Amino acid sequence: MSPPEHRPESEADEDETTDDSTAFRPAIDAHTHLLPERLTAAIRRSLGDEAGWEFSHPTARRELEAVLRSAGVAAYVALPYAHKAGLASELNAWLLDRAAESDRLVPFATVHPDDEDVAGVVREAFEGGARGLKIHCPVQECRPAESRLEPALEVAADYDRPITYHGGTAPMFEDSPYVGADAFAELLDSYPELRVCCAHMGTYETEAFLEFAREYENVYLDTTFAMSTAAEETMGFDPSSIADETLVELSDSIMYGSDFPNIPYPYREERAELLARDLPRETARDLFYRTAVEYLGLDDLPGLETE
Ligand SMILES: [Zn+2]
């Protein structure tokens, strides 16, 4: 046996070529993050300090895409978020530029509730090609449908674009007044026609959020982090608490996401738990592809499977 060849850690970690599961490929990853280097570093520092996580995945578009491509990801949604007022337009423009260079990046927009022209920021991004909006309730310190955000929600409704929320209490927001099922219910009461996704399966209130998905046709959940093989260890959530039957029942409301590249484990672990369940093929294709197509309104994109 020859000694192992030295390879850069990211490359060794990210070798996805042995997994050719057709249950997964082609996939849409509905939840990733691509941000300017300085912001990525700041987010990683804060997650490192608060959660003790370490990250080794690449953060630049090209390298990040190489990992996703070899995993079989045909399109990925990049979710920006502005942690203070006055940054959103610039962040949106930056991400739209990255999307223009890419054959698989689906850009979302960000807006801060204290931005001067909330509606204008969102409209400008949608006109520039953003396919949806991301709102990070605990970081941006806003409830999902509070009045400062209403102009943004109106624009999303006008343009028929979806909104992905960090709206649950995980992993460290159980004391936050901005998240949780009660706060999310206000959104559903006021804007039942909006397509909205609560990330991370709504953890730690998965039962309440699954119930929303049952009750409201326009409510989606993403599997990000919560359904990974590392969920128990990293966020104290047991993915097996969500039964196979629930995934089968709600496969048109649940879509695969990853939080890549800000995850302290290899990318394949994000889907390994779901694949190990050996779900019916139709369910798997919904989770890994078709539900995101519906949510995003992507079926007109060339090169994507539209069964
Ligand atoms: Zn995320």
Structural domains of the chain ordered from first start: 28-296 (3.20.20.140)
250-303 per-position pLDDT tens digit: 999 999 999 999 999 999 999 999 999 989 999 999 999 999 999 999 865 545
Q: Can you give the pLDDT at residue 304?
A: 54
Distance 31 CA to ligand 1 centre (A): 6
Q: How far, in Å, from the CA of 32 to the mean position of ligand 1?
A: 6
Residues 130 and 126: their CA atoms lie apart, in Å, by 5
Q: How far is the CA of 259 from the centre of ligand 1 (A)?
A: 5
**How far apart are the CA of 22 and the centre of ligand 1, in A?**
26
**Mean pLDDT value of segment 202-207:** 98
Give residue-wise pLDDT tens across range 214-226. Answer: 999 999 999 999 9
Q: How far is the CA of 82 from the centre of ligand 1 (A)?
A: 13
> Is the pLDDT reported for residue 173 higher than 90?
yes
Confidence of residue 3 (pLDDT cuts 50, 70, 90): very low
**How far, in Å, from the CA of 291 to the mean position of ligand 1?**
18
Asked whether the predicted pLDDT for residue 4 surpasses 50, the reply is no
Interval between CA 30 and ligand 1 midpoint (Å): 10
Of 52-56, 83-87, 165-169, 267-271, minimum mean pLDDT range? 52-56
H helices present in the chain, as ranges = 9-13, 37-51, 61-71, 88-100, 118-127, 137-140, 150-159, 181-190, 206-215, 231-235, 244-249, 269-276, 281-285, 291-296
What's the mean pLDDT in 235-240? 96
Nearest to 255, CA basis, from 207, 219, 206, 300: 219
Question: pLDDT, tens digit, for every residue of 69-109?
Answer: 999 999 999 999 999 999 999 999 999 999 999 999 999 99
pLDDT attached to residue 149: 98
pLDDT averaged over every residue in the chain:
91
Query: 106 CA to middle of ligand 1, Å?
Result: 15
pLDDT at residue 11 in the model: 42
Q: State mean pLDDT over 240-259.
A: 98
Cα separation, 19 vs 288, in Å, equals 15
At residue 150, the pLDDT reads 98
Mean pLDDT calculated for residue range 20-32: 89
